[in-house]
Structure 1
Amino acid sequence: METAKELNSSGYSPVIFGVLNITEDSFSDGGKFLSPQASHNKIESLLSHGANVVDIGAQSSNIQSGLVGPLIEWDRMKNLIPELIQKRIRISVDTFQPDVIAKALDFGAEFINHIRGFVDVESIRAISKYAESDRKFILMYSHNHSNRAETKSHLTKDNVLLEISNFFRARKKELLNAGILREQLIFDPGMGFFLSPDFQVSFEVLRKIKILQEEFSPMMVSVTKKSFLGNALGGLEVGEREIATVISELYLSLNRIEYIRTHEPKNIRQALHIWNLLQSN
């Protein structure tokens, strides 16, 4: 676990994943970082504002996104990854395509962030080469286990924790059977449309996050600018969700969630700094 210091110490902090979307249709920033210069500028901003890891995604997963395919997806990041590795910048690749997974790991990516939770044999085969290594694999829950979020869901406040737990148990068993070490796994319960259009379902997961963490640690949670926050506040647009985001991220940090994925590392870093000052003697 990377959060070595205790919550009440002034140095406590989760590992922050800064989001870089090299996509045309991501819900928050689609089309903004497709050019190499724009990508580099965003990476510099993420790192200078406190990101520990750059999480690169070249395939959007929002409810209206189209599938670009592994060739385009890899083409968007293939030159960027070696540059970052050379600079010793920690990299996560957000992908569910087995070909992209294999290439990203061969190029040196430390994390694979898999929104489908490694439900397909091909993805498991792609990571099995790096079993018993220092690479880590983030398996995310979503109600449809698909390549993008959907607006219809069977999840409710009453069944969501059980559904997530059963999924994680099944995935963990299969990955361990494939030779992946328990220490290589990170669990992400999903949020927003990955759970349900009903914002209360996401809030139920957040309220009960310690229950999940007791069995499925370390965890990564990404609430950043997601729809459930806007819907809870009467339908706020994406650009108006930053306050709701940082409050939720601070809550997760205070609950010792090990990894937080966010568009704006600066906000959670500042919130944590003020919180830790308030807790110090």
Structure 2
Amino acid sequence: MGVVNVTPDSFSDGGRSFAPQAAVAHGLALLEQGADIVDVGGESTRPGAARPPAEEELRRVLPVVRELAAAGATVSVDTMRAEVAARALDTGARMVNDVSGGLADPAMLPLMARANTPYVLMHWRGHSAGMQANARYDDVVTDVVDELRLRIDAALEAGVPPGCLVVDPGLGFAKAPGHNWELLARLGEVRALGRPVLVGASRKSFLGQVLADPATGRPRPASSRDAATTAVSVLAAAQGVWCLRVHDVGSTLDAVRVTARWGAETAATVPLPLQRLGV
């Protein structure tokens, strides 16, 4: 899954694809690199980010979704708002990636029950402005899995088809750096929920901290974290995740393909190519 941020304040690219035509061009480039899905989002979810009005989010994403879908792309819309999800699906999107797992908008789960399309439920503990205050866990993996299970149950109760559900442990969302590493090391427990797993580690701050300048302690800038992202992505793929959400599709895909070949030669289980989910 290639990331298309249609925001002026993205942590990863600083708004480089904010203009609609720039976002469309970026999405097409990700497809050329080998992306199976392009994920179009109009709301920054970096820690501390303020929410745009719904009208502004619609203005940002709909033209991009429309053009990419018309070009033959499998488009996911990254939104917490049912109104935006519904309009994007009507415009050509074929998947909804909801970082709130249906908690931000009570209309989202009923919409997804009617839509009968893949739906990503991410682990979430509040909006970006204050989410890091909620990074408190007894055991982060157990707590995240338990909370995701509640969201799965809520989605099923609302009528979302079981085969449409994908889960995301929410790396970086209400997580301290150590929480992210523990979740990555124990992805098998997330997979035990019995749903396809999406992992989005790309360029996140916990990678920047690992790569901090030893002299100054300053974290590596987001734009220089792609090699670290690729390493995490390969390790996650080897644990059987369904999808990797990344900014640098080409390098990630190359690395995953090489890992898959290595696994084939050594009889290791590396489940690639990644299984499609009806999108």
Structure-1-length-normalised TM-score: 0.86
Match of 1:7 in 2: none
Given candidates 93, 99, 103, the residue that maps to 1:109 is 93
1:152 aligned to 2:133?
Answer: yes
User: Superposition pairs for residues 239-258 of structure 1, below 5 Å?
Assistant: 239-258=223-242
**Aligned residue pair count:** 258
Among 89, 111, 136, the residue aligned to 1:126: 111
Q: Which amino acid aligns with 1:232?
A: V
Q: Does 1:199 align with 2:199?
A: no
SS where residue 31 of structure 2 aligns? Answer: helix
Unpaired runs of 5+ in structure 1? 1-16
Q: Which of 50, 53, 59 is the equivalent residue of 1:66?
A: 50
How much does 1:250 deviate?
0.3
Deviates more, 1:118-127 or 1:256-265: 118-127
Equivalent residues of 1:117, 1:145 under 8 A apart:
no
Confirm whether residue 189 of structure 1 aligns to residue 189 of structure 2: no
Once residues 5 and 70 of structure 2 are traced to their aligned partners in structure 1, the CA distance between those partners, rounded to angstroms, is 21
Higher RCO (C-alpha under 8 Å, 6+ residues apart)? 1
- After superposition, where does 1:69-84 map in structure 2 within 5 Å? 69-84=53-68
Q: 1:195 to 1:66 in 2, by over 3 A?
A: closer
Q: What secondary structure does 1:29 align onto? A: coil
Q: Is the 8 A contact 1:99 1:126 kept in 2?
A: no
Contact 2:49 2:128 in 1 (8 A): no
CA distance in 1, matches of 2:194, 2:203: 24
Cα deviations by residue, 1:82-108 (Å, 9 ceiling, x for unpaired): 222222210100001121011112223
What's the Cα RMSD here?
A: 1.7
Q: Is the 8 A contact 1:230 1:237 kept in 2?
A: yes
Offset at residue 214 of structure 1 (A): 1.5
Q: Percent identity?
A: 28
Contact 2:46 2:128 (C-alpha < 8 Å) held by counterparts: no
TM-score (norm 2): 0.87
Q: 1:138 aligns with which of 115, 120, 123?
A: 120
Runs of 4+ in 1 over 6 A off after TM superposition: none
Query: How far apart in 2 are the matches of 1:54 and 1:65?
Result: 22
Change in 2 beyond 3 A, CA 1:274/1:128:
closer
Structure 2 spans left out of the alignment, 5+ residues = 213-218, 266-279
- In 1, the alpha carbon distance for the partners of 2:14 and 2:47 equals 13
